[in-house]
């Protein structure tokens, strides 16, 4: 089965810094942020709990409005693919960078998490979804229905009658 391959990344973690959006010369928006994911384990010899945190750089294309909501400390769900690129630094040395190219970004959290897109959403949790970064979802069979929703409900957000079409991203 050498003809098959999979390049899929799913992260649930906290933002390590506020997202930054820059534009390419052709006008395409590239929003960059980092996501911290942690794992805990118990040391077999000492019995103490240890934790390891991994920082992953994420790039989201064509979603410039989302950077206003991607603030340090917010919890996010990111789905995308790994990509490694190389460039020459100022000294002429080749540098390699591996990052996640996001297809979907969902803000996670509850009403108590504060302001932003996840505040004011009813129930035990809320989500704000970026589907602008997935231009071929319909053409490629899409995975829109397979995305886990943080709020657990439909597109209507609580009793306010706001739908996903009302969110600015």
DSSP string, 86-130: EEE-TTS-EEEEEEEEEEEEEEE--GGG-SSTTTT--TT----EE
What residues does each domain of the chain span? Answer: 9-37+46-166
The answer, yes or no, to whether residue 137 has pLDDT greater than 60, is no
Placement of tokens 């969110």 in the chain: 167
| Cα three-residue angle 10-16-18, rounded to 5 degrees | 105
- 152 vs 107, residue with greater confidence: 107
Q: What's the pLDDT at 125?
A: 36
Residues 61-114 have pLDDT tens digits of 988 778 888 999 999 999 999 999 999 999 999 999 999 999 999 999 754 554
The answer, yes or no, to whether residue 162 has pLDDT greater than 60, is no
**What is the third-level CATH fold of 9-37+46-166?**
OB fold (Dihydrolipoamide Acetyltransferase, E2P) (2.40.50)
The answer, yes or no, to whether residue 19 has pLDDT greater than 80, is yes
For residue 113, count CB atoms less than 10 angstroms from its CB and return exposed for 0-12, middle for 13-18, buried for 19 or more: middle
């Amino acid at each position: 089965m050498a003809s098959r391959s999979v390049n899929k990344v799913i992260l649930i973690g906290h933002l390590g810094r506020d997202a930054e959006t820059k534009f390419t010369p052709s006008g395409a928006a590239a929003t960059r942020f980092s996501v911290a994911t942690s794992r805990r384990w118990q040391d077999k010899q000492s019995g103490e709990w240890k934790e390891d945190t991994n920082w992953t750089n994420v790039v989201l294309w064509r979603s410039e409005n989302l950077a206003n909501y991607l603030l340090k400390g917010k919890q996010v769900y990111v789905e995308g693919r790994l990509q490694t690129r190389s460039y020459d630094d100022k000294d002429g040395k080749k540098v390699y960078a591996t990052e996640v190219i996001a297809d979907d970004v969902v803000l996670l959290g509850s009403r108590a998490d504060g302001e932003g897109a996840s505040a004011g959403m009813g129930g035990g949790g809320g989500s704000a979804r970026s589907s602008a970064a997935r231009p071929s979802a319909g053409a490629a069979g899409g995975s829109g229905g397979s995305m886990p929703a943080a709020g657990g409900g439909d597109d209507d957000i609580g009793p306010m009658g706001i739908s996903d079409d009302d969110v600015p991203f």
